[in-house]
Amino acid sequence: MFLENTVNHKEQFGWIEVIAGSMFSGKTEELIRRLKRAQFAKLKTEIFKPMVDTRYDDEMVVSHDANEIRSTPVPAAANIRILADTCDVIGIDEAQFFDDEIITVCNDLANKGIRVIVAGLDMDFKGNPFGPMPALMATAEYVTKVHAICTRTGNLANYSFRKSNNDKLVMLGETEVYEPLSRGAFYKAMLKERVKTMDVTSEEIENKNKSSNG
């Protein structure tokens, strides 16, 4: 559990918080909540998002529940270093879309005394670690893993399954393109896709049949 009252006011360093999970898990919702609390405390805050993210609005960061907060779209992580220099708290949404320099930027800002809150997908649509997120989670003081609800089983979901055949790593979309799945549902869905392209071994098919019959 993240606690905001553990601040040593004599300490000159800030820290990094990472909010990670699948799509539809409430990452942006939690990011907005923390930033609004900082604004209520009259701290100077700023939120950044990659310029590529234009799903809801060009400038606003908007959660799936329609909560929003004004942001600054930037083309690269290096821009954040310059724009955030005078802030007390900064937020970064969709961090997985940034280049790897975002890792150095976040650590440099934290070392200057800034509280850095980062939200992003921890895995891509294939279930692989996504971009700079693993390194950000490793260097952060606080990591919050949030979960969606699996659309097929009702269990906790931590995978973002892409329903289209597009193989591009970066592809913006909502429920018409992605659905949150549990581990078991994701494994079966990916196996089904591989069967379509015959990219699956007979042993895997046999194990799946045994699992279904059991």
Give the residue extent of every domain in the chain: 1-146, 147-214
pLDDT of residue 140: 98
Catalytic residue among 68, 94, 179, 204: 94
Q: Which CATH architecture has domain 147-214?
A: 2-Layer Sandwich (3.30)
Instruction: State the average pLDDT over residues 2-14.
Output: 64
Q: How far is CA 95 from the centre of its chain?
A: 6
Confidence of residue 66 (pLDDT cuts 50, 70, 90): very low
94 given a catalytic annotation: yes
One fold for both 1-146 and 147-214? no
Confidence of residue 12 (pLDDT cuts 50, 70, 90): confident
Min mean pLDDT across 115-119, 133-137, 164-168 is at 164-168
Kindly give the residue spans of alpha helices, DSSP state H, lying in 51-162: 77-83, 101-111, 133-139
204 versus 61: which is more confidently predicted?
204
Residue from 4, 33, 13, 183 nearest 108 by CA: 13
Q: What is the pTM of this model?
A: 0.80
For 26-60, b/e burial (b = at least 16 CB within 10 A) is: bbbbbbbebbeebeeeeeebbbbbbeebeeeeeee
Instruction: State the average pLDDT over residues 35-57.
Output: 85
Q: Which CATH architecture has domain 1-146?
A: 3-Layer(aba) Sandwich (3.40)
Quote the tokens at residue 53: 């993210």
User: Under a CB-based contact definition with an 8 Å cutoff, are residues 19 and 146 in contact?
Assistant: yes
